Structure 1
């Protein structure tokens, strides 16, 4: 009887091991494979051990099997968790998660898997970034291979060809909150100066609406709030002489504001606010306040400017890391004249070749350039020293600081760029 019971337990254990093996082979991402190895795998191995202990029927077998089972229970879940955490931080694919990633505001994470970065390096035939994106524009051989359709295959090294390649073809403005009319001036000014068509998107976050106690009342409050400033928004564009393509949508606010994946679209966003439009209604069915503004930069393939209400003239600081993203963002600012720059400040290490290339670009744009030697920013500290950014009107970054929330334990997100600094932020990730 005991032998039959032991055999049955072993067979069930082997079945769970087979299930775990199939899961490891078939699941799409390391996190699903972790569940297969941790749960089904541990349960299957444990059942095989229990069946073996019953079959042996001795104290030595029971002691050895019990210690082995305890070792499995203590080590496999911990090891799987550590591997999954490492995979998450490295940017591994999240299959089927979509926008439901609960850790994206908690743990720093690379937005792109390392395998894709290595593929770009291999395709380029040399480590990308040796002389930067603009070096390829300058005609020092073939331009860098890129998956970006705007920059791929660029020929010619003059300022005009660079502008033709990276200048946006249209402007998109996300109308969020009560400060919309003031920020609308910034988007309308750029569209009027460059002659680009402008689309104003009014998005309503239905996930926020559903998380409130009375979704119907919340939706009415949001619509009333939008109706209050909508006439002012129309007046701004009429004053600037810019045709207004106005879009009102309710749904996934991040997707609605980021657009449909157009790399030639210049997206203007506020530095604070969300698609709840400031109605300030409690969300008892949600664990945190609605805040997806900073995540839009990663969803939008084109340049994104988080703009303050008033455009000013002054220095522009570039947090330079010689990456693909910082080169094209900096080049865009120079060729389009996004700000009236008194000087361009480059913060970060540059070699002689990169310095010469940046100086040439700045000279073509008629902007003086200053290279600032600063200590590397400590992990978790500000990206740019306070004395460098104090009088800057804008900062160009290769990526936004983490976590991607406008307020984190009471700290405004621009304080992570430089303490107390407020201004425009340009990214192109």
Structure 2
């Protein structure tokens, strides 16, 4: 009788292993395949082990089988989790899951395209063939990849590559008039048109008990400072296009995907415009401000209300994103910078390039001591940023929430620091 039960348990276990194999081969994305292998595979292997222990009916086989079963239960889920995380971070496709349903979108940075698509786009095979035939024949003209692209594409100057063609401003909350004036002053100084976007997050409105009343409150609040936006055209002589949109607020702020558009956002607030209506039908407070930069292909400035003169700190990692953000800041003189501070490893060629760029902008540059490190849970050491008026980053700190368990997002740059943040991701 025991042998028959053991045989049945083994058969059931083999059946689950077969199901796991089919799922591993046929499911659409690595996450579903990992799920099949973890659940069905572990259960199937465990049942086969239990059936074997029953058929052997000895102490040593029971102990060995039990230890093996415990090992499977402890290690397989962990290994699958690590593999799934690696797949997510590499941009693997999420079958049947849109961006709105992705709970990790603000927590883990994820490329828009999987590695395979990126490799196709870059045509790695063609690059390898060119390297075999032309190796050592082409010497980089600059350590700045943005400047290299400018020369390859036939641009006359670096300014032609990084300079924006228009300014886009997202009006959020009571601070909108002051920040709008900042954006308009930059547009007037650079002779660029200004687009002022007033976005209303209908997702927030729908999450309140009385969506009609909430929308009325938002429209009334926007109506109080809307005349201030209209007056910018007369006050500063800048062309202002006023856009009012209700719906996906982040998409409205980000625009249509123009990388030559300079986006100005506040450092805090959202498209609920601070009306303070509770959202019992939502799991968290409305907050999408930091996600806008990743949706906008051009430069994004998270700006405080009033511009200040002082040091500007750069978190340098050698990436294309940090180079073009730094180039933009110096070429367009976004701030009255008394000093440019560079934190991070900088090789000799990059150092010379940064020094030349800073000299062109009449800005003294200081490179951090290589031994200097940032404290835990911060991107920059306090002595590099305490009196800085602005910080240039290769990317925003994660998660992309203005407040995370009570911590303001700029505290992750350096505790208690407040100022402008420029990114171009």
With the shorter chain as reference, the TM-score category is 0.7 to 0.9
Contact 1:134 1:327 in 2 (8 A): no
Deviation of 1:345 after TM superposition, in Å, equals 1.9
Question: 5 Å matches for 1:11-410?
Answer: 14=14, 16-46=16-46, 59-60=57-58, 63=62, 71-88=71-88, 92-95=92-95, 96-106=97-107, 108-109=108-109, 111=111, 115=115, 119=119, 123=127, 135-136=144-145, 143=148, 153-155=152-154, 161-373=157-369, 375-378=371-374, 380-410=376-406
Contact 1:90 1:109 in 2 (8 A): no
Deviates more, 1:58-67 or 1:329-338: 58-67
Helix, strand or coil: the match of 1:209?
helix
Contact 2:146 2:320 in 1 (8 A): no
Distance in 1, matches of 2:20 and 2:196, equals 50
Helix, strand or coil: the match of 2:101?
coil
| 1:132–1:200 Cα change, 3 Å | farther
Helix, strand or coil: the match of 1:293?
coil
Distance in 2, matches of 1:410 and 1:57, equals 57
Contact 2:187 2:238 in 1 (8 A): yes
Deviation of 1:133 after TM superposition, in Å, equals 7.0
Deviation of 1:322 after TM superposition, in Å, equals 1.5
TM-score, with normalisation over the residues of structure 1?
0.82
Structure 2's unaligned 5+ residue stretches are: none
| 1:378–1:388 Cα change, 3 Å | closer
Distance in 2, matches of 1:87 and 1:43, equals 24
Helix, strand or coil: the match of 1:178?
coil
| 1:416–1:165 Cα change, 3 Å | same
Distance in 2, matches of 1:263 and 1:271, equals 21
Contact 2:143 2:349 in 1 (8 A): no
Helix, strand or coil: the match of 1:174?
strand
Distance in 2, matches of 1:179 and 1:186, equals 11
Contact 1:131 1:353 in 2 (8 A): no
Deviation of 1:20 after TM superposition, in Å, equals 2.8
| 1:278–1:57 Cα change, 3 Å | same
Contact 1:137 1:155 in 2 (8 A): no
Name the Cα RMSD after superposition: 3.5
Distance in 1, matches of 2:208 and 2:307, equals 36
| 1:265–1:15 Cα change, 3 Å | farther
Deviates more, 1:114-123 or 1:215-224: 114-123
| 1:191–1:211 Cα change, 3 Å | same
Distance in 2, matches of 1:393 and 1:318, equals 11
Deviation of 1:58 after TM superposition, in Å, equals 5.8
Could you give the per-residue CA deviations for residues 346-387 of structure 1, whole angstroms, max 9, x where no partner exists? 222323222211121122223222223264544643322323
Deviates more, 1:75-84 or 1:168-177: 75-84
Helix, strand or coil: the match of 1:212?
coil
Structure 1's unaligned 5+ residue stretches are: 145-150
Deviation of 1:132 after TM superposition, in Å, equals 10
Distance in 1, matches of 2:314 and 2:350, equals 14
Helix, strand or coil: the match of 1:99?
helix
| 1:264–1:270 Cα change, 3 Å | same
Deviation of 1:179 after TM superposition, in Å, equals 0.8
Contact 2:202 2:246 in 1 (8 A): yes
Deviates more, 1:316-325 or 1:110-119: 110-119
Helix, strand or coil: the match of 1:297?
helix
TM-score, with normalisation over the residues of structure 2?
0.83
Helix, strand or coil: the match of 2:144?
helix
Deviates more, 1:68-77 or 1:273-282: 68-77
Q: How many residue pairs get matched?
A: 410
Could you give the per-residue CA deviations for residues 153-196 of structure 1, whole angstroms, max 9, x where no partner exists? 4346xxx5111112112221111111111110111112222222
Deviation of 1:41 after TM superposition, in Å, equals 2.6
Distance in 2, matches of 1:170 and 1:27, equals 46
Distance in 1, matches of 2:410 and 2:142, equals 27
